[in-house]
């Protein structure tokens, strides 16, 4: 009889960190209205910080801000803005300063992605992902840097692991996230003398997010293939949760990480070390039409 597989438990933040480690601090987060970035924002608010969340859909931001404030007892300011437009980010940063008087932490989390081969992706679609992920990160840093220098604060940039090796249908995202990683390293070097830290969190597959729905392999009926199986290719046995990424963010912003900067924290259960692909290879490359039912080509 073969032994049962051990699955990694979910993180227990309350048992790990003091409840007031971020008291008096303020977080500025792009993409904070949903998914991974919302989970990170809520976790940081639970430990005493106020927050401002920035995105294009004001109604979603307002609903998320209200929900997180009710859960944490902290203020959350919803601010409409497009990371591709520097003036809108500058205005959002100023509104945050007007409301709270400081910005201590910044999460650059706005992103866009879809599955498409190089031969099938348009120039405009490739450019759009670069604008959201790479230029959006740069624009967010530029808008907040004067305030982060004042507070001797810290950046977290949300990246990915797909660019660690060549991957089908992900040239656009791989290029964008590789640039984000490199930008964070430069920020760490240039801004370190001002007391500013900059790090990257690179999530693996995270359940319940738009990303996993769009990028997961599909069954014939269009449903996503589950990673939660005995033969899961993830060494720690389960798909990631938004709580896993939130725990990493709390750590990187906490005093425990005060001497960590310019690094990439991969949170993927070891998935990057396994050799498998989202789509069948080389069939997906040779015959894109044959895998059309597996692709949700949507920004």
The single residue of 34, 64, 154, 159 carrying the catalytic annotation is 159
- Strand segments, DSSP code E, in 130-278 are 154-158, 197-203, 264-267
| 114-135 pLDDT, tens digit each | 889 999 999 999 999 999 999 9
Residue 227 has pLDDT above 50, yes or no: no
Q: Residue 226 pLDDT > 80, yes or no? A: no
For 19-72, how does the pLDDT look when each residue is reduced to its tens digit (9 = 90+)? 899 999 999 999 999 999 999 999 999 999 999 999 999 999 999 999 999 999
Rounded Cα gap, residues 67 and 87, in angstroms? 28
Average pLDDT, the chain: 90
Cα radius of gyration rounded to whole Å, the chain: 19
Set 177, 198, 218, 232: catalytic member: 177
Q: Please tell me the pTM assigned to this model.
A: 0.88
Q: Decide if 122 is catalytic.
A: no
Q: By the 8 A CB rule, do 155 and 145 touch?
A: no
Name which of 10-14, 98-102, 168-172 the model is least confident about: 10-14
How many percent of the chain have pLDDT more than 90?
Answer: 70
Q: Which domains does the chain have, with CATH numbers?
A: 18-270+285-294 (3.40.50.720)
What pLDDT score does 298 carry?
42
Answer for the pair 27, 104: CB distance below 8 angstroms, yes or no.
Answer: yes
Q: 159 an active-site residue?
A: yes
Say what the pLDDT of residue 127 is.
97
């Amino acid at each position: 009889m073969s032994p049962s597989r051990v699955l990694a438990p979910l993180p227990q933040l309350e048992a790990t960190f003091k409840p007031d480690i971020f008291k008096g601090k303020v977080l500025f987060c792009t993409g904070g209205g949903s998914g991974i970035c919302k989970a990170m924002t809520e976790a940081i608010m639970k430990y005493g910080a106020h927050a401002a969340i920035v995105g294009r859909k004001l109604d979603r931001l307002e609903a998320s801000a209200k929900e997180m404030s009710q859960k944490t007892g902290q203020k959350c300011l919803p601010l409409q803005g497009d990371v591709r437009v520097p003036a809108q980010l500058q205005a959002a940063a100023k509104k945050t300063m007007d409301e709270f008087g400081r910005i201590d932490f910044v999460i650059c989390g706005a992103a866009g992605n879809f599955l498409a081969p190089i031969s099938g992706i348009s120039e405009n679609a490739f450019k759009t992902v670069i604008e959201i992920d790479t230029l959006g990160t740069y624009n967010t840093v530029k808008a907040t840097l004067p305030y982060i220098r004042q507070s001797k604060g810290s950046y977290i940039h949300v990246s990915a692991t797909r660019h660690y090796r060549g991957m089908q249908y992900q040239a656009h995202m791989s290029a964008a996230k590789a640039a984000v990683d490199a930008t964070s390293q430069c920020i760490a070097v240039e801004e370190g003398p001002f007391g500013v830290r900059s790090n990257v969190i690179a999530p693996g597959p995270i359940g319940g997010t738009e990303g996993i729905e769009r990028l997961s392999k599909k069954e014939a009926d269009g449903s996503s293939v589950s990673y939660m199986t005995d033969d899961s290719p993830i060494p720690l046995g389960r798909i990631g949760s938004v709580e896993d990424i939130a725990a990493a963010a709390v750590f990187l912003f906490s005093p425990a990480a005060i001497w960590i900067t310019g690094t990439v924290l991969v949170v993927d259960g070891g998935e990057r070390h396994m050799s498998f692909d989202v789509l069948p290879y080389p069939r997906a490359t040779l015959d894109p039409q044959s895998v059309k039912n597996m692709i949700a080509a949507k920004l």
